[in-house]
Amino acid sequence: MHEFDDAVLECFLENQLQLFPEKVAETPEEAEEFLMDCMAVVVDSVDEVIEFFEEEGIDMDGADGEDILEAGEVFDIGDGRYLIVEG
């Protein structure tokens, strides 16, 4: 089971509309429950984001790190880590 710390939950709460048409969570508790339900992952680098997409078989069509970070599913936590949420 993933543990989502305060930085991850805050990042998701503030930026969830980049992936969803309306808010899916209002509180850190709701955010954590939602992220656990959709099996979101936290990775430590851009390289790990790329690895995740490759392992999931997501066709990145030659996208580089910057393109991938602009994907709606990728949230920049701001401390070098990234949250990946599959909508």
Three-state secondary structure of the chain: CCCCCHHHHHHHHHHHHHCCCCCCCCCHHHHHHHHHHCCCEEECCHHHHHHHHHHCCCCCCCCCHHHHHCCCCEEECCCCCEEECCC
- Put simply, whether the predicted model's pTM sits higher than 0.85 gets the answer yes
Task: Look at the chain and report how many structural domains it folds into.
Answer: 1
User: Residue 43: which domain range?
Assistant: 6-84
Kindly state whether residue 1 falls inside one of the protein's structural domains. no
pLDDT in tens, 15-63: 999 999 999 999 999 999 999 999 999 999 999 999 998 898 877 777 7
